[in-house]
Each structure stands twice: as C-alpha cells, then as structure tokens.
Amino acid sequence: DIQMTQSPSLLSASVGDRVTLNCKASQNIYKNLAWYQQKLGEAPKLLIYNANSLQTGIPSRFSGSGSGTDFTLTISSLQPEDVATYFCQQYYSGSTFGAGTKLELK
C-alpha cells in the first residue's frame, strides 16, 4: 500500500500569512493527488485534484504543486475561514489519505 505522510501535523499562522502544507508519498504517484479541507464538524471538501488543478468554486488563494512523491498545498494569504484540517489523498493505486495537517490561527 502507498503511505501518505503529511507535515507538519499542526501549523499556527497569522491572517495574511503565506502557508505551505506538505504531503509525501511512499512511492511515485505521478500527479494523482488531491487535497481536501475539513472544517470542524463538516464533511471534507475537495480543493485540488491532479496535484495542481483547482476545483470549481475554490478561492484562487489555494494552489497545489508537486509530482512524483512530494507535494505542497499553498494558501497565499491566510483567511480566518481557512482554519481547518487539510488532508492529502493519493489515487494512483487504490486510495489512501494522509493523517492531516491542522491549521490554526496564531
């Protein structure tokens, strides 16, 4: 099985900060990676698919990059409503999710 490792597990940042979340796959998954946002008590929401494609309706301050084994999700200017846990998911072989990065306001 492909393992997904997210870092950091907890990230504190201020409104307006540029924030970078990391996701590493245990083997090459090419660009078969998605990012989801999950706010407290809510269902996950798709942000990014195919590593760098922005889902319809998602603000442009969110962007994804990477290929192979190393991927990043960047929020260009953190907003209060971005407080959430972010999960990456590989879908190159079956599907596995990372453990998540909890993003909080400093």
Which residues are bridge partners to 103 per DSSP? Answer: 11, 84
What x/- string results for residues 5 through 44 when contact with another protein is judged by CB under 8 A? ---------------------------x-x-x-----xxx
Among 13, 46, 54, 58, binds another protein (CB under 8 A): 46
57 binding another protein? (CB under 8 A): no
Which residues are bridge partners to 26 per DSSP? Answer: none
Among 14, 16, 40, 94, binds another protein (CB under 8 A): 94
Cis peptide before 8 (omega within 30 of 0): yes
Catalogue the E-assigned strands of the chain. 4-7, 10-13, 19-25, 33-38, 45-49, 53-54, 62-67, 70-75, 84-90, 96-97, 101-105
User: Of 17 and 68, which CB lies nearer to another protein in the complex structure?
Assistant: 68
Distance CA 24, CA 70 (A): 5
Could you tell me the smallest distance in angstroms from the CB atom of residue 81 to another protein?
Answer: 18
User: Of 55 and 72, which CB lies nearer to another protein in the complex structure?
Assistant: 55
Binding residues (CB under 8 A) for another protein: these are 32, 34, 36, 42-46, 49-50, 55, 87, 89, 91-100
